[in-house]
Structure 1
Amino acid sequence: MACGLSTSEGDEDLSRTDSHVREASARACPPGVASRIQVVTPPGSGPVIISGRLLGTDQLVSAQDRLFFGTNFLDGSSVLWSTDGTPQGTAEVKKFAPVPIGPPRMGGLVAAGAQVFFDFHDPATGNELWVSNGTEAGTHLVKDLSPGPESTWFHHITALDGLLVFVRTVPGAAPHFPRYEVWRSDGTSTGTFRVADLPSDFQVRYVSLTVDHALHLFLSSGSQGTVLWRTDGTTAGTFALKKLDASNTYVNDVSHAGSLGLFVLDDSPNAEVWKTDGTQEGTLRLESFGAPTRLIGTLGSQVYLATVSSDSRYLHINRVSLNGGAKTRITTLPNPYADEPEATPYIQRTTRAGGKLYFSMAISSTGPAPREVSLWVTDGTADGTKRLHHPLSLGDEYFSPLFAATNGTVFFTASTDGLYPEPWFTRGTRSTTGQLADISPGTYGSAPDGFAQRGDHVFFFAHDDTGETQLWSAPIQLICPPGPAESEE
């Protein structure tokens, strides 16, 4: 049963009206549907930085049928936590005492098999790789890769078949580029070692793909162009897979379509859409667009993309076949600010749920913050491309998450005026879109973030009446208020 009352879907007037906000508010969940699991930030100790938030990586990771997360405080202390989703099953794994190091000491968490890896800064060893098996005694430094207080810098930390694979950056003396090394770890000192050196005259781009049980890296060089590299965590399995371009280019976007990886290569002035199955023969260019392009996702055998119009005032929704070519424009999204200066539309986030694609579209302004952000859904057709809600967060540093639960519900953050973001939900129609909770009524909102699912509940962090950020949860199957079942149009 969908959460909300059945109303006519119809065509929405895209002028700045609040009628859909009043309708969505009428479908809001009553107090108590979302609840705080545990106080993880003692009142007065904040602000807290949740591990992974500044990196844009997962803040809640799953291992041993539990969720793990880290909290970092301004006094230089950190705590590794785990939870089974209940207050009594939420506890500190290991607490790190304050040190004169600015936060966050604990970086992003990555679960590999039954272990959780993270980089952690300690005065004696610098920033190095740590691991935890979920117990205090089993939480320890893996290996001091840069002996003494010198730090090691990790990138593309990826779980592959129960092992951790990552890229280590080794600074080089000017004017040379840093060196890049591929490493693997099983969580032990002896099982943590360098697999391969990447070519010294290449730069490793900041995006990567995991395809066919291997990490795929994009390397660029002014003299040798742009090359896709592959590593499965072994020396023999680390090699250049395919040259993508003769120039030193950037990869602007990556995504997945089942067992395929997708990416957009900036071959200025064109944006090339590629796919890879992890083989040289299966790494192919699908299509090219003469404008900035973002991947939205795939439905069936079609890839959907957003491209900016030549005058930078509109966003076109296009599709191409996974078999290559067949470029088709689906629709053009409205921009009520098109005649105002620097009002360029762009995609913030995307996800897929219930056979539909969801995305947030922002419209830029003359300042750092967007002037508008709205949530959209598409089934791949013009008629099935609709705006579900606006505004989402209008901040220049905090974007609304889009989290797809396994039952097709999408969780996001929004408000009625863009100022006070709270958790919202949708099942893909405006009549099944509403506010999940008003966790922090008043000036700032609760700014929910870090959504993750365990069982039939979604978990997230929110700023609540404690005055700090805490761990919250809600059921993914929402019925608020009780109403007739509604078809997903």
Structure 2
Amino acid sequence: MCIYKIVHLWAFAVNNLLSKRCFFGGGLLFLTGVMYAQTPVLLKDINSLTDPIRPGTTLSSDPRFLVNHKGTLFFTAKENSTTVGLWKSNGTAKETIKVTDLPYSAYGLTSAGNLLYFAADQSNFGYELWKSDGSASGTVRIKDIYPGSMGSMPESFTNVNGVLYFVATDLVHGSELWKSDGTEAGTVLVKDILLGNGGSNPQGLTNVNGALYFVADDGSNGYELWKTDGTEAGTTLIKDIYAGPSSSAAQHLTNVNGTLYFVADNGTHGYELWRSNGTAAGTTLVKDIWSGNQSSMPQFLTELNGLVYFSANNGTNGYELWKSDGTAAGTVLVADMQAGNLGSNPHYLSNIRGTLYFSAINGITGREFWKSDGTGTGTLMVKKIALGGGASASNPLFFTDGKGIVYFSANDGEKGQELWKSDGKEAGTAALKELRVGSTSSGISNMMSVADTVYFTADDGKIGGEIWKLVPCAVVKLVTADTTICHKGPFSLPKMVTNSADFVSMVWRQGSVTGTIVDNPENALLTSAVTDFYVTAQMTSGCTSTAKVTVRTIPFPESVGSLYLLLEGPYQKGIGQMTTSLNQKGLLPGQTPINALGVATPARQPYYGAPWNYNGTETTAPYAANATDWILVSLRTSPNDPATTVFKAAAVLQKNGLSVVIGCPDKLKNYTNYYVAVEHRNHVGIVSGTPALFIYDHFFYDFTIQQSYIPPGISSIGQKRFDNRYMMYAGDLQKTKLGEVNANDVIIWQEQNGQFARYLPGDANLDGEVNALDQMLWMVNNGLFTGIRF
């Protein structure tokens, strides 16, 4: 469960003359989750072509060779059924993009230094070494090592301090060790270990503290252990472990804290555990685990806390879990998980943040999910996942670290091989969302972590094999801007969550995460000055997120500031004031029309609909005699970016142009400049030409004596200069996010022409009637627009 602390949501109560809702931004401050639960989501459906065999589904893009290159995910995929492309992703669908199409197929993507290396097949060249810097132009073949269509078939790509080592075949030397710095000149044979074109066939390339260890056959000593510093002279046989032409066939080369561990046969002890420091004297048998010439055949060598862990057979216990500190005495059986000589056969050992995870059989259950801390008592089955009898097996695979949580695939016997997660405890081991519903597996593979994001490939049965990722359980998102209820209740808690669709259930509690359940969250009562509410929301995948809402009440909202502005149309030339016709005729919101044929306006501020969508509940009754209409006032930190809005309120505009803005100033900071934005329901919106200083909990701005803000570089308007005063242009009847007087506005006028005793957008001069006078205002201003965004 993930717990999030959210910015406090402030609530205010008001007297019976004024009710107010104020709005503030919210955001995640910190994560205190006891478990980092995640859920799978599709990264991108790369191949969206219809599958001709499976109606209603799309083809697979067949993503392969996922690799982390400098914090970016790279892979190959097919956007159509034939062309393989090199792709990259930063973890978002938008930024999952094709770098370039490749000639044919490719394999072995490997990060080394600033370049991504791989082998690609090209007509007339075959498979050769390629590189990419992440751009189309920078994705090129490096060198034609084997001229002609055969190709050098490079493989075993290994990064050593930014230099790529690999095995390639040419006509002269056969299969030998090469290196590359990404240039044609710097792509060279390291050494012709087996002279001639026979090839030493290097294998097991492993970087140990900047030295490359590998196994090769020089034609005299068989396959033995070698190392190189990248020079011909520094490429040497370390030790002929199996003396003579026979091979020790060293394998499973593993770097454990700067020491190389591997498995080899010296002809006397069979295949056993060895170690090497790079010298002949320091290359020694660690322990003859199965005494004599029998082989304990260690497998799955893995470093954990400075020791090497592995699976081996001592001839008595069967294959079990072992560990070693590099000495014979320190090479011991960790746990006999299946008593007797059958062995538990530990597989896929994985070190995840200091705990060893693997799969094993204990004779009671089939292959299941296990862990070990290196002790016998600390080696135990985490959970029996497979349903049914003891022999049933979940066969867990692909253990991957996701911020300390182990993610893997397993089959519970009902859903096929699907995603699971575990915190190392039975109770914390659970299935994630089933990607392919039913008993057919989703084919999960290629699991890897890049920058704490776990990626994998899967086929959900609908879109073919594509790349998926694990993301945190959906965060409970509260209203991110502009919400505070100005009364003590009832208060709708669910309306505080903007992403309710992400969850299948939400439970609200009061006081704490485990507090009393709120029976009716739609009408929660605010009975105290401070009330904490917690919502626990659950997704279909089972993971949950919890958000905290702190609601505070104060006696009433406050005066935040004041401004002066005039509206063209109701402005009376010579008088210097605006009309109050709507007020006199009882047509303002909440009034009763004096004309029996009139239509009353709902008793709330008029900006609750589109495009304003301002949900404040401001009302006023009765109106003062000098009231002209309502305006919508915002304070923002950037003149043309509505996303920087920190305050919004609807306010009554008086006939002399004064408007006193009442609101909740919690998010406003003293000694801070804010741009004042004003919108009116049928006039072109404006923003102050200069910022207003918020000081002593108050701001003031006079629009009537100065031009409003006009965005540079475009032919747009601010305010109209008339009668030696500035005022808002009339005629913007059809509201959009950008103010403009155009043909859409006259359509509104035509629809409402002739209507009277109503509060209508077509009434540009605010006299309570839609007639030719309003059309004249539109005609004068038609074609004007502002570049300001609201």
Whether these two folds match at TM > 0.5 is: yes
Q: What is the aligned partner in structure 2 of residue 417 from structure 1?
A: 461
Structure 1 residue 315 displacement after superposition: 3.6
Whether contact under 8 Å (1:81, 1:91) holds in the other structure is yes
Structure 1 residue 292 displacement after superposition: 2.7
TM-score normalised by length of structure 1: 0.67
Partners of 2:349 and 2:237 lie apart in 1 by 36
Whether contact under 8 Å (2:265, 2:271) holds in the other structure is yes
- Compare 210-219 and 282-291 and name the one that shifted more: 282-291
Q: Which amino acid aligns with 1:105?
A: M
**2:60 counterpart of 1:60:** no
Q: What is the aligned partner in structure 1 of residue 119 from structure 2?
A: 70
What do the CA deviations read for 1:5-28 (whole angstroms, capped 9, x no partner)? Answer: xxxxxxxxxxxxxxx99x956999
Q: What is the aligned partner in structure 2 of residue 237 from structure 1?
A: 282
Structure 1 residue 121 displacement after superposition: 0.9
Specify which structure has the bigger relative contact order, considering alpha-carbon pairs within 8 angstroms and separated by 6 or more residues: 1
**2:428 counterpart of 1:384:** yes
Structure 1 residue 318 displacement after superposition: 3.0
**2:36 counterpart of 1:36:** no
Aligned CA distance change for structure 1 residues 205 and 143 (closer, same or farther; 3 Å)? closer
**2:240 counterpart of 1:197:** yes
**2:107 counterpart of 1:50:** yes
Q: What is the aligned partner in structure 1 of residue 446 from structure 2?
A: 401
Partners of 1:395 and 1:329 lie apart in 2 by 26
TM-score normalised by length of structure 2: 0.43
Aligned CA distance change for structure 1 residues 24 and 278 (closer, same or farther; 3 Å)? same
Q: How does 1:365-384 map to 2 (within 5 A)?
A: 372-384=416-428
Structure 1 residue 280 displacement after superposition: 4.7
Alignment RMSD (CA, Å): 4.0
Q: Which amino acid aligns with 1:149?
A: N
2:148 to 85, 89, 99: 99
Structure 1 residue 252 displacement after superposition: 3.4
What do the CA deviations read for 1:137-164 (whole angstroms, capped 9, x no partner)? Answer: 1111122111222121222211122221
Q: What is the aligned partner in structure 2 of residue 307 from structure 1?
A: 360
What do the CA deviations read for 1:187-243 (whole angstroms, capped 9, x no partner)? Answer: 222221222111247743642321121221112478524432112323333222333
2:133 to 71, 75, 84: 84
Q: How does 1:115-194 map to 2 (within 5 A)?
A: 115-169=163-217, 179-194=222-237
Partners of 1:159 and 1:133 lie apart in 2 by 16
Partners of 1:419 and 1:222 lie apart in 2 by 53
Partners of 2:251 and 2:410 lie apart in 1 by 23
SS at match of 1:424: strand
**2:263 counterpart of 1:211:** no
Partners of 2:362 and 2:376 lie apart in 1 by 22
Q: What is the aligned partner in structure 1 of residue 378 from structure 2?
A: 326
Whether contact under 8 Å (1:124, 1:148) holds in the other structure is yes
Aligned CA distance change for structure 1 residues 133 and 26 (closer, same or farther; 3 Å)? closer
Aligned CA distance change for structure 1 residues 90 and 360 (closer, same or farther; 3 Å)? same
Q: Which amino acid aligns with 1:183?
A: W
Aligned CA distance change for structure 1 residues 80 and 26 (closer, same or farther; 3 Å)? closer
Give structure 1 stretches of 5+ with no counterpart. 3-19, 52-58, 173-177, 365-370, 433-484
Whether contact under 8 Å (1:318, 1:329) holds in the other structure is yes
Partners of 1:34 and 1:300 lie apart in 2 by 29
Structure 1 residue 130 displacement after superposition: 1.0
Aligned CA distance change for structure 1 residues 24 and 158 (closer, same or farther; 3 Å)? closer
Structure 1 residue 279 displacement after superposition: 4.7
Whether contact under 8 Å (2:226, 2:235) holds in the other structure is yes
SS at match of 2:193: coil
Aligned CA distance change for structure 1 residues 486 and 139 (closer, same or farther; 3 Å)? farther
Aligned CA distance change for structure 1 residues 421 and 146 (closer, same or farther; 3 Å)? same
What do the CA deviations read for 1:96-126 (whole angstroms, capped 9, x no partner)? Answer: 465364x671112111123211111112211
Structure 1 residue 168 displacement after superposition: 1.3
Q: Flag the structure with higher strand content.
A: 1
Q: Which amino acid aligns with 1:50?
A: Y
**2:285 counterpart of 1:285:** no
Aligned CA distance change for structure 1 residues 105 and 88 (closer, same or farther; 3 Å)? closer
SS at match of 2:156: strand
Q: Which amino acid aligns with 1:358?
A: Y
Structure 1 residue 329 displacement after superposition: 3.0
Whether contact under 8 Å (1:77, 1:96) holds in the other structure is no
Structure 1 residue 134 displacement after superposition: 1.8
Aligned CA distance change for structure 1 residues 86 and 353 (closer, same or farther; 3 Å)? same
Q: Which amino acid aligns with 2:404?
A: G
Whether contact under 8 Å (1:348, 1:399) holds in the other structure is no
Q: What is the aligned partner in structure 1 of residue 159 from structure 2?
A: 111
Aligned CA distance change for structure 1 residues 146 and 97 (closer, same or farther; 3 Å)? closer
What do the CA deviations read for 1:23-50 (whole angstroms, capped 9, x no partner)? Answer: 95699987533111222x22xxx2x241
Partners of 1:223 and 1:30 lie apart in 2 by 56
Partners of 1:25 and 1:49 lie apart in 2 by 24
Whether contact under 8 Å (1:160, 1:232) holds in the other structure is no
Whether contact under 8 Å (2:126, 2:148) holds in the other structure is yes
Whether contact under 8 Å (2:131, 2:139) holds in the other structure is yes
- Compare 219-228 and 410-419 and name the one that shifted more: 219-228
Partners of 2:218 and 2:173 lie apart in 1 by 16
Q: How does 1:332-371 map to 2 (within 5 A)?
A: 332-335=384-387, 344-361=393-410
Aligned CA distance change for structure 1 residues 27 and 385 (closer, same or farther; 3 Å)? farther
Aligned CA distance change for structure 1 residues 153 and 100 (closer, same or farther; 3 Å)? same
Partners of 1:195 and 1:84 lie apart in 2 by 36
SS at match of 1:374: strand
Structure 1 residue 376 displacement after superposition: 1.7
Return the index of the structure with the highest Cα Rg.
2
Whether contact under 8 Å (1:155, 1:169) holds in the other structure is no
Q: What is the aligned partner in structure 1 of residue 675 from structure 2?
A: none
Whether contact under 8 Å (2:272, 2:296) holds in the other structure is no
Give structure 2 stretches of 5+ with no counterpart. 3-37, 46-90, 339-343, 476-543, 547-790
Partners of 2:96 and 2:223 lie apart in 1 by 45
Aligned CA distance change for structure 1 residues 400 and 98 (closer, same or farther; 3 Å)? farther
Partners of 2:118 and 2:384 lie apart in 1 by 40
Aligned CA distance change for structure 1 residues 424 and 266 (closer, same or farther; 3 Å)? farther
Q: What is the aligned partner in structure 2 of residue 263 from structure 1?
A: 310
Structure 1 residue 166 displacement after superposition: 1.0
Aligned CA distance change for structure 1 residues 361 and 144 (closer, same or farther; 3 Å)? same
Percent identity, please: 23
What do the CA deviations read for 1:294-321 (whole angstroms, capped 9, x no partner)? Answer: 2453456643332235376x44333333
Whether contact under 8 Å (1:297, 1:352) holds in the other structure is no
Partners of 2:193 and 2:336 lie apart in 1 by 42
Q: What is the aligned partner in structure 2 of residue 472 from structure 1?
A: none
- Compare 253-262 and 208-217 and name the one that shifted more: 253-262
